[in-house]
Amino acid sequence: MGTRVGIIGVGQTHHASKRLDCSGVELIAEAVTRALDDAELSIDDIDAFIIGNMDHFENINYVDMWATDGLGSFMKPVLKVTTGGTTGTTVAASAFYHVASGLFDVVMGVGWEKNSESDTQAAITTCSNPILERDAFAGAIGPLASEYSMYMKTYGATEEDAAIVAARDRNNALLNPYAHNRMKVTVQDVMNSPMLSYPIKLLDMCPRSDGSCAVIFASERAAKKLCPRPAWVHASVVRQDYTHFGDLEWEYMPTLERASAEAYKIAGITKPFREIDVAELYLPSSVTGVKWMDSLWLCERGGAPKLIRSGATHLDGEFPVNPSGGVIATNPIGATALIRVGEAAWQIMGRAVGRQIPNAKKALATGFGGCSWSSVMILGADLP
Amino acid sequence: MPFGTGENSSIEKQSEVRELGDWKDEVEEIVFPGKISVPYSWTVGSTLSKWYAQIRDDAEIWANKCAECGMVFVPPKIKCINCYRDMNEWVKLPGTGTVETFTVVSYYEPKIHPRKPPFVYAVIKMDGADTGLVHFIGGVKPEKVKVGMRVEPVFEKERQGNILDIRHFRPIA
């Protein structure tokens, strides 16, 4: 085990479908400035930067150079990571590793995407294996839809179960001033929205957003000095499994099951449903908000529909999920998973204004990248 | 510090000092269109070249098998995902399979979708193999496709040595 690490500041942009007032670099500057303000630090306090986006989405390579004046990283170490949907949690994990190693005291993680600058569906499809799967299984929606078809068949989950999740997250987004899509919707609105790829409908699916997020990680010594209530990192675990789409398990989510089991073990959590106060989960579509509850060990396999229908994952439930509105409200891809970590940290720090879960002491954040990578981070108010 | 408030700024000497937000409200938002479109080509590699040549020349779907754990993979693997062993044992599959899961794609993305909607993507568990193959289901109305449906491949007449040499899988009558 390395040095203990705490999150001491979070900043994010106001996310939108198109931020024409901002270049990508200005978007980064907005998040970085807000994170520094949140932590009451200056850029001089930052020892190193971990940054991430999907550079082929904007077709700007060497973003680590291009982003310099937005980051404030001039003459400092910068490491860039790119891992699809999990980019933001890879940024968080890498910043955590940097500080935990004892080599750096204060490290800022920054994720961003300016999805309005390209054709996101086409860019996402370039993530698929060009020789085998790009033609026969293209797009972001098909694989997620296929996952849920199988789950419905095996466990009797319904399209309405997914619609409950969609309505929950979209209505939560009304409480979050930073969220991109802020709309009051009913389960019926979701059911009535146009079918994209059976069983996924328009309101079940995430948008593409312009946005950025910055999170500041500090060593135990620095965190105690700089922050009255840091969000301590209790566990950070990553699992990846992709070989071919056809090899994957579709009835559950093996990488999330394994990553969360390991994270709970490290964090000393034996009953996650009871012990975790709030979760910010990377749910690219509401259908995963049903199926993946099983894989987070919140119920037995196939138990998710009942859990969702019970209301336990709503804001006033025993296991509130995505008070921020989650990914189906806001999705600047390279920032999306880091926003999960940042929102979870704010819950612990008591700074999730308008969407604060009272007395949140343990928070779960996840990242997902197709197909099918999972990152899990557990944060706590108490020292690990 | 807001722009234009430095000691040597001539703006400061004027009666109206403009704050950051003010000038931003009046900026014309300029957008540059990109011009570069990079063409790529991908080396298929020995394992999948062999697989595609068998589809193209003989209309046959083959798998490969790990000598250590016995798992049979289609599409074939370069190394066993469990054992990291070389994969030297090739197995001819009957070509038939079972629909493991599917989706009916209703939205249109002409740049990325090789078919016009509605069309069906499926994961097909191939007989004689331990893994699934992703492909289209055709020759049947999308609303009739079911998990568990038995299917067989329909090959194109003119084949190029790629995944679309299999036109789709259709229900076995």
Cα B118 to Cα B107: distance, rounded to the nearest angstrom: 8
Residue A304: CA count within 13 A, CB half-sphere = 31
B24 lies in some domain? no
A78 vs chain B: nearest CA distance in angstroms? 26
Give me the CATH number covering residue A291: 3.40.47.10
Judge whether B101 lies within some domain.
Answer: yes
Could you give the number of structural domains in chain B? 1
Question: Does A315 reside within a domain?
Answer: yes
Chain A to chain B Cβ contacts (< 8 Å)? 115
> Does A65 fall in a domain?
no
Taking an 8 Å cut-off on Cβ atoms, the answer to whether A146 and B77 are in contact is no
Domain-embedded: residue B132: yes
Would A162 be classed as within a structural domain? yes
For chain A, what is the mean pLDDT? 95
Domain containing A181 equals: 131-206+236-328+361-368
Interface check B136 vs A, CB under 8 A: yes
Q: State how far the alpha carbon of B5 is from the alpha carbons of A31, B9, B11, B26, in Å.
A: 24, 6, 7, 19
Task: Give me the helices (H) in chain B, please.
Answer: 10-13, 20-25, 46-58
Does residue A29 lie in a domain region?
A: no
Residue B131 to residue B2: CA distance in whole angstroms: 61
Give residue B147's pLDDT: 92
Q: Which residue of B has its CA nearest to A118?
A: B34
Residue A32 within any structural domain of the chain: no
CA distance A308 to A295: 14
Residues of B with Cβ-Cβ distance to A21 under 8 angstroms: 24, 27, 29
CA distance B130 to chain A (A): 8
Chain A residue numbers with beta carbons less than 8 Å from the beta carbon of B34 are 59
- Asked whether residue A165 is domain-assigned, the answer is yes
Q: Provide the pLDDT for residue A246.
A: 78
Choose among A235, A346, A336, A323: nearest CA to A282.
A336
Q: Which residue has the tokens 């996952």?
A: A147
The answer to whether the CB atoms of B109 and A121 lie below 8 A apart is: yes
Q: How far apart are the CA of A198 and the nearest CA of chain B, in angstroms?
A: 5
SS3 A138: coil
Say if B163 falls within a structural domain. Answer: yes
Question: Does residue B112 sit at the A interface (CB-CB below 8 Å)?
Answer: yes
Which chain A residues are closer than 8 Å to B131 by Cβ? 244, 246-247
Q: How confident is the model at residue A380 (pLDDT cuts 50, 70, 90)?
A: very high
ipTM above 0.90, yes or no: no
Report whether A318 contacts A273 (CB < 8 A): yes
Torsion region of B84: left, alpha or beta (phi above 0 gives left; psi -120 to 50 gives alpha): left
- Predicted local distance difference test score (pLDDT) of residue B112: 81
Q: Cα–Cα distance between A53 and A70 in angstroms, integer? A: 14
CA separation for the pair A187, A167 (Å, rounded): 6
pLDDT in tens, B52-78: 999 999 999 999 999 999 999 999 999
Indicate whether B96 belongs to any domain: yes
Most confident of A243-257, A308-322, B5-19: A308-322
Both tokens of A367, joined, read 């990242």
Full domain range(s) for residue B144: 46-171
Sheet holding B72-73, edge to edge: B72-73, B62-65, B89-92
Identify whether B78 is part of a domain: yes
Is A46 inside a domain boundary?
no
Per the DSSP assignment, residues forming a β-bridge with A185 are none
Question: Average pLDDT in the B87-114 region?
Answer: 92
Number of structural domains chain A divides into = 1
| In-domain check, residue A172 | yes
